[in-house]
Amino acid sequence: MNLKELIFGEGVHAGGSGGVYRDSVQAWLPIKNIIGGVVITKDNRFVKIVEVLPVNIYLKSAIDRQNIISSFASYLQIAPDELQMIARTLPADTQAYVEQMQRYAEQEENEACREMIEDNIREIGHGIAGGAMRHRFFLVFQYEPSMRAKRNTVQAIIQRLNEEADTARRYLDLCELEVLEPQYSDNFVLKLLYEILNKKTSQRVRLPEGVFDMTTAVHGIYGE
């Protein structure tokens, strides 16, 4: 199961649908909300997504490699039961760069400089960057009864999941793996889910700024 199927289910589509709340993230994505960096799905699951920057273990010494493996094995022993490790591999997005260079070429008055820019655009079109790939790695887990939040409330469950993320961060730090800590976790998750659900559209159509105001508050769904 990939990240899209885990959170959204199969056969979902973005956009407004019946039962959405006008001033909530439901108008944009088929989820209930995003609060405290935690995704609340329409089937009432709480999902945490943690992005991890990889390390090239082959550049490490034999002792360092053994320590990394041991530390990661230690984390797996206490990790959530249904922890998933997911990698997303995407072609590098060169379209925006090409369009920018084309604008430069149109504005360039020096003929020699303009030819250099146009030559650069042709080289990209011939595939120099065509094989470039970008990779993103995620740990994904959801709230399980065994996690035992202090109370059966939205905020308590979210806090418990974020505690699990902090635990993963401490162990992965021993593995020399950096866990990203976005300044605005809700906005980070919203952008990620939008890109997953709308792979092509998200490359040219950005989410409007107003949609980010829709996160963190649940409209008529949950109560403490």
Quote the pLDDT of residue 221: 40
Quote the pLDDT of residue 131: 55
Q: Cα-Cα-Cα-Cα dihedral of 132, 57, 72, 141, to 10°?
A: 0
pLDDT-derived band at 203 (thresholds 50, 70, 90) equals confident
Across residues 131-160, what is the average pLDDT?
A: 89
For the beta carbon of residue 200, count every other beta carbon within 10 angstroms. Answer: 7
Name the nearest CA neighbour of 51 among 172, 148, 159, 144: 172
From the centroid of its chain, how far is CA 171?
20
pLDDT digits (tens, 9 = 90+) for 54-82: 888 888 899 999 999 999 999 999 999 99
Element (H, E) at 113: helix 111-125
